[in-house]
Amino acid sequence: MEEQEKQSKIVSMFDNIAPTYDTANRVMSMGVDKSWRRKACDLAYEFYAKDSLDKIVDVACGTGDMMDFWKKRSEVNGISIGEIVGVDPSNGMVNVAREKYPKFNYHISKATEIPMQDSGADILSITYGIRNVVERVEALIEFNRVLKKDGLVVILEFMKNENPSILGKIRDFYMNKILPKIGGFISKNLEAYEYLPNSIEDFSTVENMKKELENAGFEMLYVKSFSMDISTLLIARKI
């Protein structure tokens, strides 16, 4: 019950900040998240090495930006995609996504209960959302269920760094002291943006995340951190 209450509180928080979420994100990341998303899409397409995909699922799709990156990068890479689907438990975020990107399909659903058949998706992504999933182990098993054999899970996330370098300490100062004030000012919800550094601190390390993916039936293909270790990309294949 405690886990359900915690998850409900997180979803409610995202409902609240949905109208200003995109503006706050662009200002806080200074737009650099676009390069991370582009890299994730291009590498996934390269690893999967197919020119035709049936379905890409973006879990915790939020306001839909990653779905748009999958679409645009598929066009650049000469890849056809049958369907791009967004899954998110927040009505507020999905309402914004539907307005921005009406061409995609959406489901209001938790990461642990994706309303799709077994082995139907070629690629499943979750960008800056896995740390907000309370039942993470169950979610990774659900990702495995939804993916085809040899399908890819693509994770972009702010990971906990147990032994930060000097640059890492600068990152932590920005994330803990500067970023919440910027996000709080734009959204008028300081609590929501104080949640961000706390959620990172409470989250997994890269090594633990790799182990959890392997335990859920995935083989790691790629792990790399970008921009002073602010963002980490993990790509794994269903085995």
For the annotated binding site, the residues are 63, 88
Binding residues for S-adenosyl-L-methionine: 63, 88
pTM: 0.85
Gap between the Cα atoms of 124 and 78, Å rounded: 19
The predicted structure's pLDDT at residue 47: 98
pLDDT digits (tens, 9 = 90+) for 47-63: 999 999 999 999 999 99
What's the CA angle centered on 235, arms 91 and 99, to 5 degrees?
Answer: 25
Which tops the pLDDT comparison, 36 or 44? 44
Reported confidence tier of residue 181, pLDDT bands at 50, 70, 90 = confident
Residue 202 is predicted with a pLDDT of: 65
Q: What is the pLDDT of residues 71-96, one digit of tens each?
A: 999 999 999 999 999 999 999 999 99
Q: Residue 214 corresponds to which tokens in the numbers above?
A: 């392997």
Mean pLDDT, all residues of the chain: 87
Structural domains of the chain, ranges and CATH numbers in brackets: 2-238 (3.40.50.150)
pLDDT score at 157: 87
231 vs 21 pLDDT, higher one: 231
Question: What is the pLDDT at residue 27?
Answer: 61
Question: What integer is the mean pLDDT of 139-153?
Answer: 98
Q: Comparing 3-7, 40-44, 144-148, 168-172, which segment has the lowest mean pLDDT?
A: 168-172
The Cα 170–Cα 110 span in angstroms is 34
